[in-house]
Amino acid sequence: MPRTLLLLVPLLTATLAAAPATAQMMKSPAVPEPGTPDKVVPLAKGQVQLSFAPVVKRAAPSVVNVYASHVDTRGQSRSAMDEFMRRFFGDNGGGRGRGGAPGERAQKSLGSGVIVDESGLVITNNHVIENMNEVRIALADRREFEATIVLRDPRTDLAVVKIKSPSGGLIPMAFGDSESLEVGDFVMAIGNPFGVGQTVTQGIVSALARTQVGSSDYQFFIQTDAAINPGNSGGALVNLQGQLVGINTAIYSQSGGSHGIGFAIPASMVRAVVETAKGGATAVRRPWLGARVQSVTPDIAESMGLDHPTGVLVASLQAKSPAEEAGLKRGDLILTVDGKSVDDPEAFGYRFALKGLSGQTQFGILRGTGRSTVSVKLSPAPETRPRETLKVRTRSPFLGATLMNTSPAVAEELQADFPADGVAVASVDEGSIAARAGLQKGDMIVAINGLPVATTKDLERITRNSLNMWEVSINRGGEVMTSMFGG
């Protein structure tokens, strides 16, 4: 007999045996013991038919599957390595990509997304389509469409794609108020885990404002125990009104599966990225403060007369920045942004990033023993000099790196300190000489072989000739390091 039947038999027997006793109890109700809650038998069909199905019916049509791929056409000829990979790993590993076409290599990615506009805009995670150049969207009703990438925002790990020539019948999901969520609220995650098809899981909000997750620059996540697995990335976290309150983006896992600790980007940030895409922009621009802030330790909190660590401390200011113009000073403690409390630099960065690029925002600050409010102008970081982007192609420790002249705008994008001498490393190609040399995005190249580097033209001139040895000074996070590299 199957295990399920073995389990059901005792339960059915217990139910039948209890029937006479139940009838006796109806004749002579027992007096409950003090402190014991009354147990009530369901009296109507509706009392035993509670379900989340109506919410799912409302939200599920807006959740899509996202299939992304990157196809490189390599021509018809095969190298010896191509042939080796083909013989030992099959055509997909040896130079055949989508459709088996000779000379193509394909990378593929699977994720989820949410329709947020009737025109066909779909929000998903940036890591789902990162480095991809082909995207297809599969709707819940099994229709499939090609899509174009409208906007990528790696700093929030969000991206917007647009369905090409939608044939109608698209159902966008309404945004919910992620700011009103409370720990303990019911939520549901909808997506395509492991590629098995659209799946719904249910749980609660386990925590809010999680900032130590590390999957994006703006860390301020909703934590939930609703099961989230690979393939759920970019899917919807919905409330009981079927509204979008978050985009599922990361899990804490030691095995690759769900351990009941999942993280979603709040709808307030998602909405900001979507509105940027609707406005026709291809990149998200955020307000510039022109100040560096740091966490408040227990020792700092005690020295400032605080009951507990809270807020962020202004560590430095840039000249002619909105922070300086607002009257902020080094040592000020920022407690709130437009009345919303901030407890660490990540929470402050998230709150400030949502403010847009016009008008003003109010900071509640503590200076000494006095509390006050300052108005900070909202504007983008200025590009005070041309970037003059340089892709290094000569053999040197910088081969494979992309470099830019520094400015507040570049520093803001790279999350680097400004002002700072040198040339900024904007990106490093994987597996390149620059990567093997240890260069990282955000590094500032200060000097090469004792010669100061102020612009990308300086670096290009210095690296024009090959050398046997290179002495490179790098400013990383305020600390200058000098290393020797072979030619």
Q: What is the DSSP letter of 1?
A: -
| 56 neighbors 189 (Cβ within 8 angstroms) | no
Backbone phi, psi, residue 55, to 5°: -65, -45
- Distance CA(9)–CA(2), nearest Å, equals 11
Q: Encoding tokens for residue 188? A: 């549901």
What residues are labeled active site?
Answer: 127, 157, 233
Supply the DSSP string of 336-400, one letter for each residue.
Answer: EETTEE--SHHHHHHHHHTT-SSSEEEEEEEETTEEEEEEEE--BPP--S----EE--SSSTTTT
Supply the DSSP string of 9-40, one letter for each residue.
Answer: HHHHHHHHHHHHHHHHHHHSPPPPPTTPPP--
Half-sphere exposure of 22 (CA within 13 A, CB side): 9
> Could you tell me which residues come within 8 angstroms of residue 353 by beta carbon, excluding any fewer than 6 positions away?
218, 269, 272, 286, 287
The torsion region of residue 466 among left (phi > 0), alpha (psi -120 to 50) and beta comes to beta
- Distance CA(406)–CA(415), nearest Å, equals 12
Helix (H) or strand (E) holding 153: strand 144-153
Query: Quick count: other Cβ atoms within 10 Å of Cβ 38?
Result: 5
- Distance CA(330)–CA(323), nearest Å, equals 10
- Give the distance, in angstroms, between the CA of residue 207 and the centroid of all CA atoms in the same chain: 17
- Distance CA(223)–CA(263), nearest Å, equals 5
